[in-house]
Structures are given as structure tokens and as C-alpha cells.
């Protein structure tokens, strides 16, 4: 029997007990990137919160089947293809590759499914056909098919919006008078010459066309996870209209609840402003990686603020996270090299593991979990200083630390991914060793300063000289 896991439900605006419908497997849909530009750190804040959620669900004892879609056909992609004289596939394929490289660098566990919208056109057409049969979809004079929100009385309950105050649906021309209602959103868009040139048009019962953005996620979620899923996640910017429209078209088609719980993460700010291309403050994973920030440091930075609170990206915050995970890495090395422990070390391990579970099971409280981890580091280091000889206590500490880090994943890489740098470091360390052997301490100190200038920290231990890239 697991402890009770609780999560904030956007639909009820309350933190609620959560468990998968079948008690075993969480069927989770997470909205992925629109692949016309590499995802920025704001996007990855959401993906990292979902990674923490995924790992915590598994810590609670459940299996997870996650779907993260890749939107590879929409207005922005088609415009990019037109501007570059390419097809949508030629635009999106390289961006998908970059997304997975960034995801792997940040240690985000792979989802079980990464469906691309263009591979589910048949399912999308079938969903529109079902909606038409149920009288909630209609083809307008322009050849596009729209969802009639006036025929779905529950519309607006996720976003808590009054339909009388809604503006025209997103990604739909507001001056299109062929629609029954300016608020109606497009399910299937009649193809334009631009769509045809980009390879973004398919045959359908309503003529050549392409899916609306909202339709894509509903079709892929239901095709892969069923008509009622356990959990649907994304950033708060997707609550309206995207997730509101997903609920409308999915539930109008199936007559069943679409998702049992909706969970949304807040924005990442840059020096107090929302990250956005139009204001030129976009930060990518590649940029931070080139600045020497490790995946562990970026994970710590994201987890240092609760997922439902805005997170501010500053140089000071990133540096603090880099220093924090350096401490985690040092502790991991020390725990690995230790030969024994004390009863108090085992008690600290038990307390830490329970405190982390309690924090994460209470609406994914990552900051509190981090606090429990660093309390453990302080207590454990004090016990390791005592030099106990109890191997069972040491094993308990190692198991607890592995369990905690299996969710947070904050231990920095032990080696650098630059073989030339690694070879240079080893050569300089040998030169320093030789200098010390001949008692030329000035030369040894100069080499150490040279290493420090390249971001290499050197430690002389009883087991030999150890080095770590810290920046």
C-alpha cells in the first residue's frame, strides 16, 4: 500500500488524492514541443516538472505509460517551410533531433510514445467525422470544419471562462464570417496553396486540408491511451484554448471524461519577464550547456521552485544551483569511498528518504524534497567524519541516497564529455605530481592555478588526486 499521493487538479483548483484508474498504470499525456524551433528553457521547465512527476509516480509504485506528442504540422511550421522553400518534414526533422539531444542531456526519461501529428491524420479525420455525426461539428463555406462550442454546454470549465466573454478561437482568423460563431475553433482547415507546397495537405471527406492544432492532441491521446486517460499535463499557457478545446472535442466525441486530472506548470521568467522570442530573451539548453552548466545544475535550478510558482532565471540562481550540485557530487564520491557507518547514519538515511517521499507525494513539493536531501548530506557527512565501522548503516545510506537521486537526479557527471580536455587535465596532473616529487611546489601551485582557470577542481585524497569539472 503506497502512501497517499496528492496532486493539484486544474479542473477543481484543488490538491486532490490521485491514483491510476486501474491501480497499476498511470496513462499520462504531456503536450510536447511544436518543432519549428528548438525548445527553449521555458519549455524544458515544463518537461522537467513532468519528468519529476513521472519519476515520483514510479516511486509511488505505479507503472507509467507516457505520451509526449511532437507537433510537426501547424501554422508556424508551414510558414517556416514557405520562407525556406522546404517541406514541413525538412523543417521539423532536424528540430526533433535537437529536442531529443537536449532532453537526453537534461536526463529527462524517455516517454513510451513520441507520436508525430503527421502520422495520425487518419485518426484525426475519424475524430472529426464522429463530431460531425454528433452534431457538434460543421463545415463552413470556406471548406473548413469547425467545432460549435455553443453545442457543448460544458465548454469553459477548465479555464473557468464565461463563453459570452470569449474571443475568437486561437489560430483561427477572427474576421472569418463563414463560421456560425466567432468563438468556434477549427478542427480541419481547408488547404491553401501554401499548405500544398509545404506538403501539409491531405485528402479528407471535406476536401484537401490539414488538422487544427487542438485536434491533433485529442486524436493521438485517445489512439494511444484510450478515451479516458489518468493525467494530462502541460504549461499554464495551454489551459486556454488548447486544453479547453481538447476537452470539448474529446468528450463530445466519446461521451466520456477525457482526463481524470489536469496538471499545469507555471512560467519560467528571465530577470522577471516571461521568456518569449518576440522580446529576445530566449535561453536554450544549448546556450547554458556551452556556458558550462551541467544537467544536474539545471535540474536543481528548476526543482528549487515549486512547479506551480513562477521561476526566475538569473545568473545568481544558476550559480547557486551549480554550487549545490557540486556538494551533492562530493557527497556521492565520499559515500562511494566510505568503508563503514554509524547507527545515526542509518537513522539519517531513513529520515531523509521518508521526508523526500512525503514532500514529493504532497503535490510534487520539490523544494521541500531538496531541503530534506541537503539535511541528509549535513547529517551524513557528520557521521562519516566519525568514521564508524557499521557496513549495514553504510549500505542503508547508499540505498537511501540512490532512491532519492533516482527521482531528483542531481549527481553531476563524474567525467567530462570532452576527451581532449580530459587528456589535458591528466597530463597537467602528472606534471603537477612530478613537480611535487622533486619538491618544486611553486611549479605545482602554478599548474593547479592553470587547472582552476579551466574550471577544474583538484583534490588530494588518501586514494590519490581527484579532479572534477565545476564550471
Backbone angles phi, psi at 358, to 5 degrees: -60, -40
Percent pLDDT > 70 in the chain is: 93
Q: Has 104 been labeled as part of a binding site?
A: no
pLDDT tens digits along 396-409: 999 999 999 999 99
Q: Has 309 been labeled as part of a binding site?
A: no
pLDDT tens digits along 153-169: 999 999 997 665 555 44
Alpha helix positions (H), 41-87: 41-59, 75-84
Q: Has 246 been labeled as part of a binding site?
A: yes
Q: Has 217 been labeled as part of a binding site?
A: yes
Q: Which residues of 155-182 are buried (b: 16+ CB within 10 A; e: fewer)?
A: bbebbebeeeebebbebbeeebeebebe
Q: Judge whether 296 and 412 are in contact, CB under 8 Å.
A: yes
Residue with cell 514541413: 88
Domains and CATH numbers, the chain: 19-269 (3.40.50.620), 292-408 (1.10.730.10), 419-469 (no CATH)
Q: Has 378 been labeled as part of a binding site?
A: no
Look at the alpha carbons of 172, 178, 180, 182 in this order and tell me if their dihedral is positive or negative.
Answer: positive
pLDDT band for 463, please (50, 70, 90 cuts).
low
Task: Give residue 1's pLDDT.
Answer: 37
Q: Which residues of 5-42 are buried (b: 16+ CB within 10 A; e: fewer)?
A: bbbbbbbeeeeeebbbeeeeebbbbbbbbbbbbbbbbb
pLDDT tens digits along 189-208: 999 999 999 999 999 999 99
Max Cα distance, the chain (Å): 90
Task: Give residue 399's pLDDT.
Answer: 97
Beta-bridge partners for 29: 67, 232
Pairing of strands 137-139, 145-147: antiparallel
Q: Judge whether 46 and 101 are in contact, CB under 8 Å.
A: no
Amino acid at each position: 500500500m503506497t502512501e497517499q499521493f496528492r496532486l493539484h487538479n486544474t479542473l477543481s483548483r484543488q490538491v486532490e488524492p490521485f491514483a491510476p484508474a486501474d491501480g497499476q498504470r498511470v496513462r499520462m499525456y504531456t503536450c510536447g514541443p511544436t518543432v519549428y524551433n528548438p525548445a527553449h528553457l521555458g519549455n524544458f521547465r515544463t518537461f522537467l516538472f513532468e519528468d519529476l512527476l513521472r519519476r515520483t509516480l514510479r516511486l509511488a509504485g505505479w507503472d507509467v505509460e507516457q505520451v509526449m506528442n511532437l507537433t510537426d504540422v501547424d501554422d508556424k511550421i508551414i510558414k517556416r517551410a514557405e520562407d525556406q522553400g522546404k517541406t514541413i518534414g525538412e523543417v521539423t526533422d532536424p528540430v526533433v533531433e535537437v529536442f531529443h539531444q537536449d532532453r537526453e542531456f537534461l536526463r529527462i526519461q524517455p516517454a513510451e510514445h513520441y507520436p508525430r501529428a503527421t502520422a495520425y491524420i487518419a485518426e484525426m479525420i475519424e475524430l472529426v467525422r464522429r463530431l460531425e455525426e454528433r452534431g457538434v461539428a460543421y463545415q463552413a463555406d470556406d471548406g473548413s470544419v469547425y467545432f460549435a462550442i455553443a453545442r457543448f454546454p460544458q465548454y469553459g470549465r477548465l479555464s473557468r471562462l464565461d463563453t459570452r466573454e470569449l474571443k475568437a478561437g486561437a489560430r483561427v482568423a477572427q474576421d472569418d464570417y463563414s463560421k456560425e460563431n466567432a468563438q468556434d475553433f477549427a478542427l480541419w482547415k481547408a488547404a491553401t496553396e501554401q499548405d500544398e507546397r509545404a506538403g501539409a495537405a491531405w485528402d479528407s471527406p471535406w476536401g484537401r486540408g490539414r488538422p487544427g492544432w487542438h485536434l491533433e492532441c485529442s486524436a493521438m491521446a485517445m489512439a494511444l491511451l484510450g478515451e479516458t486517460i489518468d493525467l494530462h499535463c502541460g504549461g499554464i499557457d495551454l489551459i486556454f484554448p488548447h486544453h479547453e478545446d481538447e476537452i470539448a472535442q474529446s468528450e463530445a466525441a466519446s461521451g466520456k471524461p477525457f482526463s481524470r486530472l489536469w496538471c499545469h506548470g507555471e512560467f519560467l521568467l528571465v530577470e522577471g519577464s516571461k521568456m518569449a522570442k518576440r522580446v529576445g530573451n530566449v535561453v536554450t539548453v544549448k546556450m547554458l550547456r556551452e556556458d558550462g552548466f551541467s544537467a544536474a545544475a539545471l535540474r536543481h535550478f528548476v526543482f528549487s521552485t515549486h512547479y506551480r510558482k513562477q521561476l526566475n532565471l538569473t545568473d545568481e540562481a544558476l550559480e547557486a544551483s551549480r554550487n549545490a550540485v557540486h556538494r551533492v557530487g562530493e557527497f556521492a564520491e565520499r559515500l562511494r569511498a566510505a568503508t563503514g557507518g554509524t547507527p545515526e547514519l542509518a537513522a539519517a538515511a531513513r529520515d531523509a528518504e521518508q521526508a523526500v517521499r512525503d514532500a514529493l507525494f504532497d503535490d510534487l513539493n520539490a523544494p521541500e524534497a531538496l531541503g530534506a536531501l541537503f539535511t541528509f548530506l549535513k547529517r551524513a557527512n557528520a557521521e562519516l567524519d566519525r568514521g564508524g565501522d557499521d557496513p549495514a548503516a553504510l549500505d542503508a545510506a547508499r540505498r537511501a541516497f540512490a532512491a532519492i537521486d533516482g527521482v531528483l537526479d542531481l549527481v553531476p557527471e563524474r567525467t567530462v564529455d570532452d576527451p581532449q580536455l580530459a587528456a589535458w587535465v591528466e597530463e597537467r596532473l602528472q606534471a603537477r605530481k612530478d613537480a611535487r616529487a622533486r619538491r618544486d611546489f611553486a611549479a605545482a601551485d602554478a599548474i593547479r592555478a592553470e587547472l582552476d582557470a579551466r574550471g577544474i577542481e583538484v583534490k588530494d585524497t588518501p586514494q590519490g588526486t581527484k579532479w572534477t569539472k565545476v564550471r
